[in-house]
Structure 1
Amino acid sequence: MKKEEILERFVCTPSRVAVVGASPKEDRPVFRVMNYLAGAGFTLFPVNPGYAGTEILGRPCAAGLEFLEGGVDVVALFLSAKQQGNVAADLEKLPSRPVVWFQPGAENEDLAAELERKGYDVVPSDCLMADHMNKCR
């Protein structure tokens, strides 16, 4: 799927987004992006083993993608490439093939190429919040 179609289907129309690397710390970019997306009508699923069992922006935080209930449309990665070792295997545990969105700072050409070979749609380096603000109004 081309980026324009991804934007239309999953960004300009609020979707279900798993946020891998979620944080309750208000000074973190991931928190600001999540707060914005929540206010724009997205359904968020925070994922971070360090905060599992707590809530982030009123949503329960899961330890990993495999613990999410229901499907998601987008998996947004807020992890550095060094921390993405299990992402491909974790994605395989999901009931569907979501778009994998690499936020700025999470770029990983090797993982993006691997996921595309496996049939995932990938956005290799863009900010969900910025794209929503700039392309969906």
Structure 2
Amino acid sequence: MVWERIVKEYVCSPSKVAVLGATIERGRPVSMVMRYLKSQGFSLYPVNPKYRGLKILGLSFYASVRDIPENVDILSLFIGPKNQAFLLDELKSLSYKPIVWMQPGAENQELEEELKNLDYTVVSGQCIMAVHKARCSRLDT
């Protein structure tokens, strides 16, 4: 998928985003990005088995992407490469292919190549919040 299309259809238009590595710790970058995206109208699905049963920003945590009751447009990764071993199998178990967005610090060249070979669209090394702020006109924060 072409970058401009990703930005127009999934970043500048609120989409459904699974946030892998979401946390209840307010000062973490993932929490700041989630607050921002929620304020911009995105539907968020925090994913972290550690916090299953808890809520952040009024949203229930999911233990895995498979547990989310609907298809998401973007899977935003906030987990480092050493914690990503499970991800390929989890993605393969889905009946659809979300855009995999590797936030800064989550870049993983090996996983990225494997995903691209399986026809996933991968964005790597760019913060979705920063892209939204830089490229989308409906900013109000």
When normalised by structure 1's length, the TM-score is 0.98
Q: Is the CA contact (8 Å cut-off) linking 1:24 and 1:57 kept in structure 2?
A: no
SS of the equivalent of 1:53 reads coil
Aligned pairs, number: 137
| Deviation per residue, 1:45-97 (Å, 9 max, x gap) | 00001101111111110011111101000000000000000111111222210
Q: Unaligned regions of 5+ residues in structure 1, if any? A: none
CA distance, structure 2, for counterparts of residue 124 and residue 114 of structure 1: 13
Which amino acid is 2:74 matched to?
V
In the alignment, which residue of structure 2 is the partner of 1:58? 58
SS of the equivalent of 2:129 reads helix
CA distance, structure 1, for counterparts of residue 127 and residue 47 of structure 2: 18
CA distance, structure 2, for counterparts of residue 125 and residue 88 of structure 1: 18
Which amino acid is 1:97 matched to?
K
| Deviation per residue, 1:84-130 (Å, 9 max, x gap) | 00111111222210000000010000001100000100001110000
In the alignment, which residue of structure 1 is the partner of 2:116? 116
* Shift in Å, 1:2: 1.4
In the alignment, which residue of structure 2 is the partner of 1:92? 92
In the alignment, which residue of structure 1 is the partner of 2:74? 74
SS of the equivalent of 1:45 reads strand
Query: Structure 1: which 4+ aligned runs deviate by more than 3 Å?
Result: none
In the alignment, which residue of structure 2 is the partner of 1:107? 107
CA distance, structure 2, for counterparts of residue 46 and residue 95 of structure 1: 20
Confirm or deny that 1:125 pairs with 2:121: no
CA distance, structure 2, for counterparts of residue 86 and residue 26 of structure 1: 26
CA distance, structure 1, for counterparts of residue 19 and residue 92 of structure 2: 16
Which amino acid is 2:100 matched to?
V
Q: Unaligned regions of 5+ residues in structure 2, if any? A: none
| Superposition CA RMSD, Å | 0.7
Q: Percent identity?
A: 44
When normalised by structure 2's length, the TM-score is 0.95
